[in-house]
Structure 1
């Protein structure tokens, strides 16, 4: 009886010492959802950019500049003598308003009040964050942002909805360099 018990234990141990096998996925998913999303976003971006190009073509009063970041702008007030533009960590003081591309005011300058912002250290929508870096003290620039440079898919949870391209008029009042704020 004892021999039978030891034999069964030995067989049990021998059969349980097996190398682990890789688990196979139950469902194999393709990247079709991601591919569709990419295509939808590309189509949306091209429609918005075509709309912005149409606005630019119809506006003969202003000379628009294309930024490296994918938005367009023109100067209302330009300072040709200043050289200082805000860099990472600098503090800027500015005013701005927000409109849709049809010119309907979403947020007035008075509603938004004067903003004090640490460059790249605080939250601000991407296009405006990059646009401020192009400005000099005292300048006023009007920016045209496609939705992916503005509030994108989510909007701002208040007045700006999903995928809304924006037009903003920004006045940069003051730049305080980071090195002077540390002293």
Structure 2
């Protein structure tokens, strides 16, 4: 009977929800910690913008700033018809670093994603709203609009700007 109680106790302890390793969004940060975080993000964004702009200057291909703080290789993209919430699109993209090394072999693909219910990187969603069928663009995305401070727990480390080759299917 004691063995049964011990086994049951061990099983119950395994079901206990553990506290997250970092505070949740909107969690327990003091005003000072929030100010430090905001300043860090602001300074990192300034540095990354300068680095991306310098990188662009050394490329044969032209890139143009979008209002959301990323760049695209299509000057006319933001003047194309914008898709509304509720419209569905299918797309795929590959992620590269700024040495043009592909980070994942298999492209990220999404079929019939609905605007307004996207669970995607904001620059990808923004560009897709303006793209036409079978159009391809390359996005240059600062880390704050990519995977940010935590990375993707895979091949994208923290604070890494990305190059995204996006195609509307």
TM-score by length of 2: 0.72
1: CA distance, partners of 2:46 / 2:54: 12
Structure 2 residue 153 is the aligned partner of structure 1 residue 154? no
Q: Deviations over 1:85-117 (max 9, x none)?
A: 432121111121001122121123xx1354212
Structure 2 residue 86 is the aligned partner of structure 1 residue 89? yes
Residue matched to 2:114: 118
Residue matched to 2:49: 49
1:6-155 alignment to 2 at 5 Å? 31-59=31-59, 61-75=60-74, 84-108=81-105, 111-112=106-107, 114-116=109-111, 117-155=113-151
1: CA distance, partners of 2:62 / 2:168: 20
CA contact (8 A) 2:94 2:108 kept: no
Shift of 1:30: 7.0
1: CA distance, partners of 2:30 / 2:148: 26
Shift of 1:32: 2.4
1:107 match: secondary structure: coil
Classify 1:113/1:43 alpha carbon distance in 2 versus 1 (closer, same or farther; 3 Å). closer
Gaps of 5+ in 1: 1-28, 174-183
Shift of 1:70: 0.5
Gaps of 5+ in 2: 1-28
CA contact (8 A) 1:138 1:171 kept: yes
2: CA distance, partners of 1:155 / 1:104: 17
Root-mean-square deviation over aligned CA pairs: 2.3
2: CA distance, partners of 1:36 / 1:121: 32
Q: Deviations over 1:53-73 (max 9, x none)?
A: 0111111x2221110101001
Higher-Rg structure is 1
TM-score by length of 1: 0.67
1:98 match: secondary structure: strand
CA contact (8 A) 2:71 2:141 kept: yes
